[in-house]
């Protein structure tokens, strides 16, 4: 009995440690993208969404410009304007399906954010992209701008939105290209929702990312509110960590993961070339 009690006690202590584990380590600066850019490369539009596939980072800007970086070699690769996307480009993520066997990357999902709250699905390369699908949410329960984020591992797409005055994350099965109608569109309905959880007290939503057991939500605009990064538990929506970023004086935007690190991309007001990237070790 004593041995059994000891085992139970040890298991309980491990569970407590696991629950209280800090999700992220200390921040380290990756780069100011300006230092990697040739002097003749013009960047227009504020820094917004950010996605990584293998060694390549894709930093998208308001009105659709995309800047491609090689994180391993620490160099600029290319820049182009996403086809058909003139929106805010508030968030970006990669899915699972590829447009064709020749596609270098999985489909690339970019949030319009305002207007029709669309998610533009792109067949993307290192030189350009083409719009191959547009996803909409037709429910009338949300207000204001919204964000789309793909969890490729689980095959779902999250809608980060506001219902009444509550920030929410709704999720749906990730549409396939074959689900598109004759116009290349997919219209999700309230009844298609697989689940939803509250996203907590978020002042001004920025990008969003669901990875593993964690939800990463940057927030705030320096001239209007504090800026911060919240880390939530994916199933319980419990806040596991809150990092105050206000002292940095720049605006947190897109988030992405790579090789055990969380990358966060910052917008420097009125200086779109100065896209600052930091990363945190995921514990």
- Residue 163: C-alpha distances to residues 149, 156, 169, 191, 198 (Å): 17, 20, 10, 16, 10
Judged against a pLDDT cut of 60, whether residue 199 lies above it is answered with: yes
Assigned domain for 149 exists: yes
Compute the CA torsion angle 251, 257, 263, 265 (nearest 10 deg): -40
pLDDT score at 21: 67
Mean pLDDT, residues 44-58 taken together: 97
CATH of the domain at 53: 2.120.10.30
Distance separating alpha carbons of residues 215 and 111, to the nearest angstrom: 17
Judged against a pLDDT cut of 80, whether residue 96 lies above it is answered with: yes
Domain of 265 in residue numbering reads as 24-282
Assigned domain for 176 exists: yes
pLDDT score at 132: 98
Compare 59 and 1 and report the one with higher pLDDT. Answer: 59
Assigned domain for 174 exists: yes
Q: Using the CB atoms, write b or e for 97-131: b if 16+ within 10 Å.
A: bebeeeeebbbbbbbbbeeebbbbbbbbbeeebee
Assigned domain for 13 exists: no
Helix boundaries (H) for 21-162: none
Tally the domains of the chain: 1
- pLDDT tens digits, one per residue of 98-140: 999 999 999 999 998 777 889 999 999 999 999 999 999 999 9
pLDDT score at 8: 33
pLDDT score at 22: 77
pLDDT score at 7: 35
Strand partners, 53: 56
Assigned domain for 6 exists: no
Assigned domain for 8 exists: no
Q: Are 105 and 98 in contact (CB under 8 A)?
A: yes
Percent of the chain residues past pLDDT 70, beyond the cut:
93
* pTM, entire model: 0.91
Burial of residue 260 (CB within 10 Å: 0-12, 13-18, 19+) is: exposed
Q: In sequence order, which residues have a C-beta less than 8 Å from that of residue 16 and are 6 or more positions away?
A: none
Assigned domain for 10 exists: no
């Amino acid at each position: 009995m004593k041995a059994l009690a000891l085992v139970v006690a040890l298991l309980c202590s491990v569970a407590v440690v696991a629950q209280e584990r800090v999700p992220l380590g200390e921040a380290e600066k990756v780069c100011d993208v300006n230092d990697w850019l040739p002097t003749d490369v013009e960047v227009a539009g504020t820094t917004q969404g950010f996605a990584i596939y293998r060694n390549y980072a894709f930093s998208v800007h308001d009105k659709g410009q995309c800047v491609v970086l090689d994180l391993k070699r620490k160099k600029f690769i290319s820049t182009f304007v996403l086809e058909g996307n003139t929106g805010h480009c508030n968030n970006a993520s990669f899915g699972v399906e590829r447009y064709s066997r020749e596609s270098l990357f999985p489909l690339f999902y970019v949030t319009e954010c305002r207007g029709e709250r669309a998610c533009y699905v792109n067949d993307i390369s290192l030189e350009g992209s083409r719009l191959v699908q547009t996803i909409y949410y037709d429910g009338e329960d949300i207000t204001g701008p919204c964000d789309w984020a793909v969890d490729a591992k689980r095959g779902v797409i999250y809608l980060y939105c506001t219902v009444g005055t509550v920030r929410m994350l709704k999720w749906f099965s990730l549409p396939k290209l074959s689900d598109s109608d004759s116009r290349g569109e997919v219209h999700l309905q309230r009844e298609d929702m697989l689940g939803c959880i509250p996203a907590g007290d978020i002042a001004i939503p920025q990008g969003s990312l669901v990875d593993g057991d964690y939800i990463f939500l940057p927030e705030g605009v320096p001239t209007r509110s504090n800026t911060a990064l919240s880390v939530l538990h994916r199933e319980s929506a419990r806040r596991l960590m809150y990092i105050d970023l206000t002292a940095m004086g720049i605006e947190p935007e897109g988030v992405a993961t790579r090789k055990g690190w969380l990358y966060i991309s910052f917008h420097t007001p009125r200086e779109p070339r100065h896209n600052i990237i930091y990363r945190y070790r995921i514990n």
